[in-house]
Amino acid sequence: MKKIWFYFVLILIIQSFMACSYNDMKKKIPQSMSHSINKIKFGQIGDKEIYLYELTNNHGNVVKICNYGGIVQSLQIHNRAGKMIDVVLGFDSLSEYVQHSPYFGCIVGRYANRIGNSGFKLDNNTYSLNANDGKHSLHGGLRGFDKVVWDTQIPENDHACELILTYLSPDGEENYPGNMNVRLKYTFTDDDELIIEYHATVDKPCPVNLTNHSYFNLAGEGLILDHSLQINAHKICVVDADLIPTGELSPIAGGDYDFIQKHRIGDRIKNVKNIKTGYDNNYVLDNYQIRKLREVALVEEKSSGLRLRLSTDLPGLQFYSGNFLDGSLIGKNSKTYYQYSGFCLETQMFPDSPNIPSFPNTVIRPGEKWQSISVYKFEHL
Burial class (CB in 10 A: 0-12, 13-18, 19+), 363: middle
Residues contacting residue 132 through CB under 8 Å, at least 6 positions apart:
138, 139, 141, 142
Q: Which residues are catalytic?
A: 213, 346
**Beta bridge partner(s), residue 228:** 264, 300
Helix H or strand E segment including 162: strand 160-169
H or E element that contains 17: helix 2-28
H or E segment to which residue 14 belongs = helix 2-28
d(CA 308, CA 377): 6
Q: Rounded to 10 degrees, what is the CA torsion of 216, 219, 223, 224?
A: -60
Report the alpha-carbon distance of residue 368 to residue 144 in Å, rounded.
22
Three-class DSSP labels, 71-95: CEEEEEEECCCCCEEECECCCCCHH
